[in-house]
Structure 1
């Protein structure tokens, strides 16, 4: 099995000391320095709390995934639905899933999701506050082959850094997002509500009435600028 080499560790040091590795530029760090060290196509970071077997996701950040996937992500679900996540809560160990030869803890729901959205190889880890039964979890899609100990060792390095960055990101962005949303016009607020409900620009225009699809795009561009995001997926993630 391949393990982390000295060159890999040098690449990690370069990533973790990159000037973009700060809370207010987490997405840029994920897409740049981290991706160079740990190649992936998409990643979702979530902060949540487990209560009586139900996971409540309080904050989420994603990059590299399309709207269709992000729109269907629930903020509340039974932990038993996701076998790998349940296994992680129990073991607190990094894991990976090869959909062609899945591990025993991978549930049918997870494997179906991997196939439907073309995720390929998946890997996950995080940091759990056992006393509070809450923490940060992250899942990578499109992880390079071959899967092995290299990925598990890399995830062990990544976990505490992503945990700190995500917590700082939440602390910094929540006041800004709340302030930005408070300053929206009534029409912009309605568009945002429709967006959070999973509707496309065309669907939003049809639902509101008296507004074109182009106008919806223009209004969303103004919302992005006010809230401090660059694209639709980032706004969706912040609204969750």
Structure 2
């Protein structure tokens, strides 16, 4: 098995020092310097939450995958169907699946999925926040074979940086201008918070002790202030 050499480590230092290694340019960094250090064909980076054996993916960044595969991926799935995820949660070690010679912890469902979409060798790792039952997950497909310890050691080096960059990327993508939100009145900000929590106009009015018509009128002003035209768009911006 080939391990990381001094040359590999120097290459890694060059990767993390690259000016593209920022939250705003994460995708370009993945497709450029990182791919040179860690060759792969496609990648999915996601953030999700675990509740009673079900993982709900809330944020995803992908590169290199066909749209058919991305459309197929569920936003929520049972960990019982993906035993490699269960193995990773227990071991906290990166894992790889060669569909031609799969490890014992890979489920038939996962192997079929890899073969059906032609993903090739899949290498994955992540960071799990035990207290929050949430974390980031990174899955690289089409990793050059034969797979070796080099890939796993490289992924261990990459994971902390990828975790920080990905979380900052998602935050940057969803961040709203403080001036826009600060321009709202206290009542309007309360309405927006309850809207983001999934409440309808009637429930918001009852909660804030104001008329439903007042909620609708305030929402119209909020839409104009934030530059959106409908409720669904505002909710999407708040996520």
TM-score range, shorter chain: 0.7 to 0.9
SS at match of 2:28: helix
Distance 2:174 2:112 in 1: 33
SS at match of 1:110: helix
Larger radius of gyration: 2
Q: What is the match of residue 151 of structure 2?
A: 151
Paired residue total: 188
Instruction: Describe the shift of the 1:23–1:108 C-alpha distance in structure 2 as closer, same or farther (beyond 3 A).
Output: same
Q: Which runs of no fewer than 5 residues in structure 2 stay unpaired?
A: 181-225
Q: What is the match of residue 162 of structure 1?
A: 162
Q: TM-score, normalised by structure 1?
A: 0.73
Instruction: Describe the shift of the 1:109–1:184 C-alpha distance in structure 2 as closer, same or farther (beyond 3 A).
Output: farther
Q: What is the match of residue 201 of structure 2?
A: none
Q: Deviation string for 1:22-78 (max 9, x for gaps)?
A: 001110010001100000000001101111000011111000101001111111110
Q: What is the match of residue 65 of structure 1?
A: 65
Q: Deviation string for 1:92-146 (max 9, x for gaps)?
A: 1111111111001111111111111111111000111112121100100000111
Q: Deviation string for 1:197-226 (max 9, x for gaps)?
A: xxxxxxxxxxxxxxxxxxxxxxxxxxxxxx
> Counterparts in 2 of 1:99-178, with a 5 A limit?
99-175=99-175
Distance 1:107 1:42 in 2: 21
Distance 1:184 1:146 in 2: 51
SS at match of 1:147: coil
Q: What is the match of residue 88 of structure 1?
A: 88
Distance 1:183 1:96 in 2: 45
Q: How much has 1:175 moved relative to structure 2?
A: 2.8
Distance 1:82 1:48 in 2: 15
Comparing 37-46 with 76-85, which one deviates more in the overlay? 76-85
Distance 1:133 1:18 in 2: 32
* Higher RCO structure (Cα 8 Å, ≥6 apart): 1
Instruction: Describe the shift of the 1:65–1:183 C-alpha distance in structure 2 as closer, same or farther (beyond 3 A).
Output: farther
SS at match of 1:127: strand
Distance 1:183 1:33 in 2: 37
Comparing 160-169 with 145-154, which one deviates more in the overlay? 145-154
Distance 2:228 2:33 in 1: 34
Distance 2:228 2:8 in 1: 46
Q: How much has 1:86 moved relative to structure 2?
A: 1.4
Q: How much has 1:185 moved relative to structure 2?
A: 7.1
Q: What is the match of residue 192 of structure 2?
A: none
Distance 1:185 1:111 in 2: 44
